[in-house]
Amino acid sequence: MKIRVINKSKHELPAYSTDSSAGMDIRANIDNEIVLKPQDRVLVKTGLFLEMPAGYEAQIRPRSGLAINKGVTILNSPGTIDADYRGEVCIVLINLSNKNFVIKDGERICQMVIAKHEKAEWIKVDSLLETERGAGGFGHTGKE
Prior bond to 38 cis, omega within 30? no
pLDDT category of residue 133 using cuts at 50, 70 and 90: confident
Residue 140 has pLDDT above 90, yes or no: no
C-alpha to C-alpha distances, 34 to 51, 72, 144, nearest whole angstrom: 28, 13, 43
Selection from 89, 82, 93 nearest residue 117 by Cα: 82
Query: For 73-127, what is each residue's pLDDT tens digit?
Result: 999 999 999 999 999 999 999 999 999 999 999 999 999 999 999 999 999 999 9
Q: Which CATH class is domain 4-116?
A: mainly beta
Mean pLDDT of the chain: 95
CA distance readout (Å), 132 to 35, 55, 105, 122, 135: 50, 33, 51, 24, 9
Q: What is the pLDDT of residue 23?
A: 96
What pTM does this model have? 0.87
* β-strand partners of 36: 101
pLDDT digits (tens, 9 = 90+) for 47-60: 999 999 999 999 99
User: What are the sequence ranges of the domains in the chain?
Assistant: 4-116
